[in-house]
Amino acid sequence: MIYISSAVCFQSLLSACTEPSGHRQASYSFQFSPQLNANITYTLRAKQIMSQQVRSIPSAFVQDMKLTWRCQAIARDSATVLLMQCDQFFIRSRGKDMDITYDSEDSLHEQFGVPGMASFVSRQGRLRVQSNGYTQIMNDSLNTSAVDSEAFALTTPLFCRLPDAAVSVGNRWGADYTSIMGFIPLQVHCDYTLLSVRDGKATLAIDAHLKTSLHTAGQKLFVANGSGYQKGKIEIRLKDGIVTSSSFVQFLSGEMDMSGLKVPFTQGAEIRITGTVEQ
């Protein structure tokens, strides 16, 4: 039987702890910085299911949506200015005794009951994107139509909120921003985690807390008090921070107040985004 003294064991352990491993963890810096005149096409697909209860009577409807945006980086100073154009807008809502559709590419389905929807498609607007991925709609992009502001708000998930400092795999950072879910405005606190880096792309986990904010529709006051979550993954290009794919789920529950009528609701969504770049 072979015995090893405690002194030898301690010396071996000390050497293992103090000698360099030779595998220093890489760190990565991210920023949204597409080349000028680069053309980016984003496609967003969403499936939403909403359930509500009005005067103790339950109801539910399903909504499918597809949005395609064509963008060009036209200027850059402290941020990048994107010239954006919505090339396609498809939306279908269906429930009991209801099935209505709007498709900008189908002349037979032009009416969805939302004034200004058709005029929004193919009209250009400008979006200012900071290097950390935060966005701002430029004032000359909108007219007085509520449809314009809501449709442009749908561009929020196309961009990733990037860390201000270099990060390594396993690191986490947070971001606060506003978004929209089924035309309900949201306040979002999102935690991002860098999962991996491979072939010039980074994969991030997203874990967010959602909270509803005030919304006004026409002459009636509409308030949605609720909270929920958003979870999924997002893939971005290392060299310019452009989102190439993203998939996540959202869930929201709470109570709507429509001019004094209390309506409990739940709303879930599955969202997929793809982004392609042409120089």
The 10 Å Cβ neighbour count of residue 37 is 10
pLDDT tens digit string along 151-171?
677 788 899 999 999 999 999
Rounded-to-integer distance, Cα 258 and Cα 217, Å:
10
Tell me, yes or no, if the pTM score tops 0.85: no
Rounded-to-integer distance, Cα 226 and Cα 214, Å:
11
What mean pLDDT do residues 221-247 have?
Answer: 91
pLDDT at 239 over 90: yes
Q: Which two tokens stand for residue 87?
A: 């090339």
pLDDT at 125 over 90: no
What mean pLDDT do residues 159-185 have?
Answer: 90
Rounded-to-integer distance, Cα 252 and Cα 213, Å:
12
Give CA angle at 147 (111, 74), nearest 5°.
Answer: 115
Res. 24 pLDDT band, cuts 50 70 90:
confident
Where is pLDDT greater, at 241 or 264?
241
What pLDDT sits at residue 182?
A: 66
Exposure b/e, 142-154, CB count within 10 A at least 16 = b = beeebbbebbbbb
Cβ-contact 54, 261 below 8 angstroms: yes
Rounded-to-integer distance, Cα 161 and Cα 243, Å:
11
Mean pLDDT for the chain overall: 82
Cβ-contact 90, 103 below 8 angstroms: yes
Place of tokens 């103790």: 56
Name the percent of the chain lying above pLDDT 90: 47
Cα dist from 120 to 65, 85, 91, 103, 257, whole Å:
15, 9, 14, 12, 29
What pLDDT sits at residue 114?
A: 54
Under DSSP, is residue 154 helix (H, G, I), strand (E, B) or coil?
coil
Res. 86 pLDDT band, cuts 50 70 90:
confident
What pLDDT sits at residue 7?
A: 44
Closest C-alpha among 177, 206, 180 to residue 189: 177
What mean pLDDT do residues 26-33 have?
Answer: 95
What pLDDT sits at residue 100?
A: 84
Res. 143 pLDDT band, cuts 50 70 90:
low
